[in-house]
């Protein structure tokens, strides 16, 4: 029997989104004559009832295209800005879901999207999610699509920075995206042969970094590449961050009358620590220049890492997860994320993954491999 499927992309864009939309749509149309509706600009389009019909023709020729043909946004149904107010518009989503007689809503996104989709599942909608993000930090899946492409772009950038750093006998500090996790900086740092890799999971001591660069200089390598994750923190910042996070968790768990004031205070402190990280990369470069006597330059890779055509691996992953998603819809499953485990696409209940973030374990084999080839991780 045919089904009507709504689909949207939410959160930051990422290479492979169109490949995933195509994977779900083409296989659902061919498999059970599905009627596909694409909602525009994430959850916002679902609330404002802005969508377009996705026919086989619309889904053709998009596999290699970067970004998302549906547009995206970081809007959350339960916290929508309306004028100068913030409103919970979950009920509007429910009404639009019913208006279009959807059998299922596919939400493609990162950790935030998984949470928003879970809220909609709790409001009674049949929701299935797909994990995408260049950060690779979605819990429950081995890898997210978008990561491999961004890894390739960041690696190529580090390769190119090598020759200029070498020619000028400079330090080049290259900032890599990844939000609060270090997968991208660690992967690109290893693949690009960075001499220092700093990630949020391992707080750094600038003196240890400077010492490793000085030692390289003494051995005759008068240049160094420092790959730093945008979320990396000094030991002091990390301590403050942990204290503030613990206070917030405690305040959230408490039923005390004073807990709402405590929550507010903990959030303010957390925001303060987070904003103290702004400019970390520039400061780090200046400190290294001072401590080593070598000239230092900063390169911030930024959104270049999210743009352009997806890699072959991301096209395959997005197609694999997208087509598995349409089979699960056909089987009547929902309340799940379609994850990659080993070489299989498997359903994972949203209850198991929401609110969790997949950070880099400090005993991960990539970290050990980096140490084994002499990379400084900022801690020793
Ligand atoms: O989550 C993907 C990501 O690119 C992060 O790596 C980065 O911190 C963030 O999005 C940037 O978001 P925006 O595009 O909204 O500035």
Write down all domains in the chain, each with its CATH number in brackets: 4-145+310-352 (3.40.50.450), 150-306 (3.40.50.460)
Q: What is the mean pLDDT of residues 290-301?
A: 98
Mean pLDDT for the stretch of residues 171-187: 98
Residue with tokens 């209850």: 351
Residue bearing tokens 């996070």: 245
User: Could you tell me the distance, in angstroms and rounded to a whole number, from the CA of residue 177 to the centre of ligand 1?
Assistant: 7
* 345 vs 123: CA distance, rounded Å: 26
Angle at CA of residue 339, ends 335 and 340, nearest 5°: 165
Q: 14 CA distance to ligand 1 centroid (A)?
A: 10
Q: Which of 135, 148, 195, 314 is catalytic?
A: 135
Q: What integer pLDDT is reported at residue 250 of this predicted model?
A: 86
Per-residue pLDDT at 13: 98
pLDDT of residue 260: 82
Enter the tokens of residue 151: 């890894």
Is 135 touching ligand 1 by the criterion CB < 6 Å?
yes
The answer on pLDDT for 77 being more than 70 is: yes
**Per-residue confidence (pLDDT) for residue 277, from 0 to 100:** 87
Q: Is 111 in the pocket of ligand 1 (CB under 6 A)?
A: no
pLDDT, mean of residues 3-13: 98
Specify the pairing of strand 336-341 against strand 344-349. antiparallel
The per-residue pLDDT of the chain, averaged, comes to: 96
334 in contact with ligand 1, CB cutoff 6 A:
no
Nearest protein Cα to ligand 1, atom 10: 12
**Residue 134 in contact with ligand 1 by CB distance below 6 A:** yes
Task: Give the number of C-alpha atoms closer than 13 A to the C-alpha of residue 283, restricted to the C-beta side.
Answer: 11
Among 197-201, 250-254, 299-303, 369-373, the range scoring the smallest mean pLDDT is 250-254
Mean pLDDT over residues 142-155, rounded? 98
Name which residue sits closest to atom 9 of ligand 1, judged by CA: 179
Of the pLDDT bands very low, low, confident and very high (cuts 50, 70, 90), residue 266 is confident
Is 135 noted as a catalytic residue in this protein? yes
Q: CA-to-CA distance for 234 and 289, rounded, in angstroms?
A: 17
Q: What's the alpha-carbon Rg for the chain, to the nearest Å? A: 22
**Quick one: what percent of the chain has pLDDT higher than 90?**
89
In the predicted model, is pLDDT for residue 186 greater than 80?
yes
Give pTM, 2 decimals: 0.95
In tens, the pLDDT along 42-71 reads: 999 999 999 999 999 999 999 999 999 999
344: Cβ contacts below 8 Å, ≥ 6 apart: none
Q: Which residues contact 297 (CB under 8 A, 6 or more apart)?
A: 165, 170, 171, 172, 173, 285
Q: 3-state DSSP helix/strand/coil percent for the chain, to nearest 5? A: 45, 20, 35
How many whole angstroms from its chain centre is CA 79?
21
46 CA to centre of ligand 1 in angstroms: 22
pLDDT at 292 over 80: yes
Q: 17 with 67: CB under 8 angstroms?
A: yes
For the chain, how far is it from start to end, CA to CA, in angstroms? 61
Cβ–ligand 1 distance for 146 under 6 Å, the answer: no
Instruction: Give the residue among 24, 35, 25 at the shortest CA–CA distance from 100.
Output: 35
Q: Residue 212 above 70 pLDDT?
A: yes
Q: What is the DSSP letter of 311?
A: P
Spacing, Cα 67 to ligand 1 middle (Å): 13
Q: Is 306 in the pocket of ligand 1 (CB under 6 A)?
A: yes
pLDDT at 259 over 80: no
Q: Which two tokens stand for residue 233?
A: 């923190």
pLDDT recorded at residue 257? 67
């Amino acid at each position: 029997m045919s089904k009507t499927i709504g689909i949207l992309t939410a959160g930051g864009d990422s290479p492979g989104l169109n490949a995933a939309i195509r994977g779900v749509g083409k296989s659902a149309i061919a498999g059970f004559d599905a009627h596909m509706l694409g909602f525009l600009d994430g959850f916002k389009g679902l609330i404002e009832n802005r969508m377009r019909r996705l026919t086989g023709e619309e889904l053709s020729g998009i596999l290699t295209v970067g970004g998302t043909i549906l547009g995206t946004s970081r809007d959350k149904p339960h916290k929508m800005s309306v004028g100068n107010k913030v409103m919970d518009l979950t009920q509007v989503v429910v009404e639009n879901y019913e208006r279009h007689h959807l059998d299922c809503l596919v939400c493609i996104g990162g950790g935030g999207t998984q949470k928003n989709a879970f809220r909609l599942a709790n409001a009674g909608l049949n929701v299935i999610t797909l994990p995408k993000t260049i950060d690779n930090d979605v819990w429950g899946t081995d890898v997210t699509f978008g990561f491999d492409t961004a890894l390739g772009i960041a690696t190529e950038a580090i390769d190119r920075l090598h020759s200029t750093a070498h020619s000028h006998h400079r330090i080049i500090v290259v900032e890599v995206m990844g939000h609060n996790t270090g997968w991208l900086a660690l992967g690109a740092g290893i693949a690009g042969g960075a001499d220092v890799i700093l990630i949020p999971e391992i707080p750094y001591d600038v003196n240890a970094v400077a010492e490793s660069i000085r030692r390289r200089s003494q051995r005759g390598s008068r240049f160094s590449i420092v790959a730093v994750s945008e979320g990396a923190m000094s030991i002091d910042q990390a301590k403050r961050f942990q204290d503030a996070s613990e206070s917030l968790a405690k305040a959230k768990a408490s039923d005390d009358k004073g807990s709402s004031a405590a929550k507010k205070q903990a959030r303010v402190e957390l925001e303060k620590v987070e904003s103290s990280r702004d400019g970390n990369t520039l400061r780090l470069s200046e400190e290294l220049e001072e401590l080593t006597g070598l000239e230092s330059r900063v390169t911030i890779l930024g959104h270049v890492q999210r743009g352009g055509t997806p890699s072959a691996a991301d096209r395959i992953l997005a197609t694999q997860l997208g087509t598995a998603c349409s089979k699960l819809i056909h089987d009547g499953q929902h309340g799940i994320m379609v994850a990659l485990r080993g070489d299989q696409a498997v359903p994972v209940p949203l209850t198991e993954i929401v609110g969790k973030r997949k950070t880099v374990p400090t005993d991960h084999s990539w970290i050990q491999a980096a140490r084994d080839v002499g990379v400084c991780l900022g801690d020793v």
